[in-house]
A and B are shown apart, each in its own frame.
Chain A
C-alpha cells in the first residue's frame, strides 16, 4: 500500500464544493451567454429536419461533385444517404448530422488558428500539447457531469463534449503541416521580401493544406464517434437509437442505428478526402 499523504476525500471535497458553487452562482449567467449558440444548434436542427429529403440529398451530391468532379462518386454518396432513409433512420440521421456539422465547423474555426499559433510560437506549443493530451484521453463523463450541471442536458452540452474530443486532430495536423514546410522554401519567400503574413497565407498554409485536410477529416470522424456519448446527455439522433437498442437488449435496433453512424461516417470521410486529394494534386 502506498502511504496516505493526503486523504483522497480532502482532495475531492473542495472540488465538489467549487463545482456546486459554480452551478448555483454562475449557471444562469452562463446559460444566457450561451443562448445564441443554443439558438444556432436549434436552427441547424430545424433546417435539416424540416427540409425535404430530396433537397438534402441533392446538396450532399452537389458537395460531393465539387470535391471530386466525378459524377459516379457523387451518385454513390447520394445513394448512401438515401439508404439511411430507406432503413427508417432519416430523422435520427438529420438530428445527428446537424449537431455534427455545427461541431465540426466550430472545431475547424478553433483548431486552425490554434494550430497556426502552436507552429509559430514555441511556448504556446509547450502549453497546448499537454492540454491536447487531456482533451483526447480524459473520459468524457468526468467533465460532462459538471457541464450538464452548468448548461443543462441537451444539445449545448453535447456540442462541448464533441468539440473537446474532436478538435485535437485538426490542431495537431495544422501544427505539423506548417512545421513540415521546407525551411528553404520559406527562406526563398523571405528573400523575395514577403511579409510575415504573406509567408503564412501565401506559402505555409497552402503547402500545409493536405495535412490540414487530413486533420479536418479526422476531426469529422472523431465527432461522429461522439454521437453515442451525445445521446447520453439527452440528444436525440442515431446515438439515442443505439442507446435504446443496447439498454433493451434489442440487438437489431442497435445494429441498424450503428450502421447508420457508419454510413454517415463513410459519406463524410470520402467527401472530405476528395477535397483533400484535389488540394494535394493542385498544390503539388
Chain B
C-alpha cells in the first residue's frame, strides 16, 4: 500500500484527504513523490506512517489541549493528526482497542473503575499528569456577599429560602451533576450526609451543556444559586465564585461517598482529581519521541484557568485558544520539548 510512501506532512495530508479507495493508490503513489522531492532539508520525519489519532472528548480544557498537542505534533514532529469526537468511556474503550492513539485528558476519579480495568489489560498506559482537577460546591460571590453567614456546606439548611426551587417551592434547589456522571453519586451521598433532604431538592441538570446554560443564565441575572462544578473549566475560570467549605478530606469516608449503596454517608471534602494523559501501548513503541513529549505535558492550574477564562470571554474556538496559549506561555511548553523541536514550533507560530 502507498500509506508507507509519504515522507512529508504535505504528502501525508494529500493522502489522507483523497484516499477514498484503493483504486487511487497508484496515482497517489506517483503524486506523493513530488512533495518528497520538494521537501525542505530541516523538516522532520514523522515516526508514524499514518495520521495520529486523538480522542476528542468534548469538554473545553481537553479540546484546547488536543489542539495544542496537534500543533506541536504537526510543526515540531511533522506528523499529521486527526481528532475523533467521542466521550470518556467510549474513548477509553477505543484507546484499548487501538482505534485511538491518545486520550489527552482523563480525569482519574471520574473514570476510576473503567481505567483500572483498562490498565490491567496492559494495552493502555498512563504517561503524564497534566494538572490536578478540583471539584467543589460553589456559590457566586454576590450570593456570598448577600449571605455572609453562609460559609460551609453544612450551613445550607438555614438558607434554603434563598435558593428556592421553582418546581418545588417548599425547598431549595441544589444543582448536582448531569445524569449518570460519577459525581452524581458523590453529590447524592454528600446531600444525604449533610442532611439536606428536608430542605433541598437534588436537581440533576441532565447534560453538561444544559447545566452550564442554566448556571450561566442565573449568574448573568445575579440570582442566588448553589451548585457543584469542577475546574479547570471556562465556567469556573470566568465567573467569580466562592467555594463552600466541606469537612477535611478523609479517604475512608470518601470511598463510601463514591458508592451508590453507601449505608452511612459522612461529609468529607473532594480529593484532588489527577488529570493525566493515556496512550495506547503500541503507540508508545511506534513513536518513542512523541511519547517522550506527551509524557512531559504539564500545565499549571493558574495558567489553565486563565486560558479557560480567555476561551469563555472571547468565545474563542479551541484552536484559537491553543494558539493564544502557545504564543503567551512559551516558558511552559518549551519545557516539554527538545531544542530543535522547540525551534520548529516557534517558527510556525
Closest to B317 in A: A9
Q: Are A234 and B221 in contact (CB under 8 A)?
A: no
- Listed residue (B89, B114, B167) with the most chain A CB atoms within 10 angstroms of its CB: B167
Closest to B178 in A: A247
Is A89 an interface position by the 8 A CB rule? Answer: no
| Cα(A240)–Cα(B206), bound, Å | 7
Q: Are B220 and A144 in contact (CB under 8 A)?
A: no
Which of A102-110, A130-138, A147-155 sits within the interface? A147-155
Q: Are B210 and A232 in contact (CB under 8 A)?
A: yes
In which size bucket is the chain A interface?
35 or more
Closest to A25 in B: B221
B187-246 at interface with A (beta carbon < 8 Å): 203-207, 209-211, 213-214, 216-218, 220-221
| Cα(A42)–Cα(B203), bound, Å | 15
Q: Are B180 and A246 in contact (CB under 8 A)?
A: yes
Is A166 an interface position by the 8 A CB rule? Answer: no
Is A38 an interface position by the 8 A CB rule? Answer: yes
Is A141 an interface position by the 8 A CB rule? Answer: yes
Q: Provide the residues of chain A in CB contact with B210, threshold 8 Å.
A: 144-145, 148, 153, 232-234
Interface string of A208-246 (1 = CB under 8 A from B): 000000000000000000000001111110001001111
Q: Provide the residues of chain A in CB contact with B209, threshold 8 Å.
A: 141, 145
Q: Provide the residues of chain B in CB contact with A246, threshold 8 Å.
A: 180
B240-268 at interface with A (beta carbon < 8 Å): none
Q: Provide the residues of chain B in CB contact with A150, threshold 8 Å.
A: 217
Q: Are B167 and A149 in contact (CB under 8 A)?
A: no
* Interface contact tally, CB-CB below 8 A: 83
Is B148 an interface position by the 8 A CB rule? Answer: no
Which of A16-24, A175-183, A184-192, A266-274 sits within the interface? A16-24
One of B168, B181, B203 near A247 (C-beta < 8 A): B181
Q: Are A153 and B180 in contact (CB under 8 A)?
A: no
Q: Are A152 and B206 in contact (CB under 8 A)?
A: no
| Cα(A231)–Cα(B206), bound, Å | 6
Is B166 an interface position by the 8 A CB rule? Answer: yes
Q: Provide the residues of chain A in CB contact with B218, threshold 8 Å.
A: 152
Q: Provide the residues of chain B in CB contact with A12, threshold 8 Å.
A: 315
Closest to A158 in B: B206
| Cα(A152)–Cα(B214), bound, Å | 6
- Listed residue (A149, A155, A243) with the most chain B CB atoms within 10 angstroms of its CB: A149
| Cα(A233)–Cα(B217), bound, Å | 14
| Cα(A23)–Cα(B218), bound, Å | 9
Q: Are B315 and A13 in contact (CB under 8 A)?
A: yes
| Cα(A244)–Cα(B168), bound, Å | 23
Interface string of B154-196 (1 = CB under 8 A from A): 0000000000001110000000001111001000000000000
Footprint of A on B, CB under 8 Å?
89, 114, 166-168, 178-181, 184, 203-207, 209-211, 213-214, 216-218, 220-221, 315
Footprint of B on A, CB under 8 Å?
12-13, 16, 20, 23-24, 27-28, 31, 38, 42, 141, 144-145, 148-150, 152-155, 231-236, 240, 243-249
Given contacts A149-B213, A153-B206, A234-B214, 17 further A-B contacts (CB under 8 A): A12-B315, A24-B220, A28-B221, A31-B166, A145-B213, A148-B214, A153-B214, A154-B166, A154-B203, A231-B179, A232-B207, A234-B210, A240-B206, A244-B184, A247-B181, A248-B180, A249-B114
16 contacts between A and B (CB under 8 A): A12-B315, A28-B221, A38-B167, A145-B213, A148-B210, A149-B213, A149-B217, A153-B213, A153-B214, A154-B166, A233-B206, A234-B210, A234-B214, A243-B180, A244-B179, A249-B114
